[in-house]
Amino acid sequence: MDKKNMKTIDIYTRKIDSSVQTENVGSTLNNIMKDYVYENIDFILSEEVWNLIHKYFIEYWDEIIGVGGYFCWVDITQFIYNKIIDQKYLITHEKVNFVVELMLTKIEKDIGFFLI
């Protein structure tokens, strides 16, 4: 795997909001991410498609990257796009890519990645 343009998850400098109850973290983070995405897109994205993008993003993040894993942003987009298309939803690759890039930018800004 070419490590050029790859990033790894920085688990050591996470910024944790102490006001968030731990049992609600997943729901709260989903809402924060969803709000961020919807505020920054200029196209219609149904809640159903958002839920799929978010579901497959989490699946890729948890099961393929893992803690400290290397990844390319385009690989995440392709994984999510393929999963959505397999379910017969119509959305362009460009829109999925735009949403995924927003999500990764938000994570990078709030949590951080190590650049390699």
What's the CA gap between 7 and 92, in Å, rounded? 25
Query: For residue 46, which amino acid is it?
Result: S
DSSP state of 23: G
Per residue in 60-110, pLDDT (tens digit) is 988 877 766 677 778 899 999 999 999 999 999 999 999 999 998 888 888
Per residue in 9-63, pLDDT (tens digit) is 444 444 444 444 444 445 667 788 899 999 999 999 999 999 999 999 999 988 8
Task: Give the helix/strand (H/E) hosting 32.
Answer: helix 25-39
Res 37: pLDDT: 95
- To 5 degrees, how large is the angle CA 69–CA 74–CA 77? 95
Q: Do residues 53 and 84 lie in contact, with contact meaning Cβ atoms separated by under 8 Å?
A: yes
Half-sphere exposure (CA, 13 Å, Cβ side) for 43?
Answer: 11
Res 1: pLDDT: 47
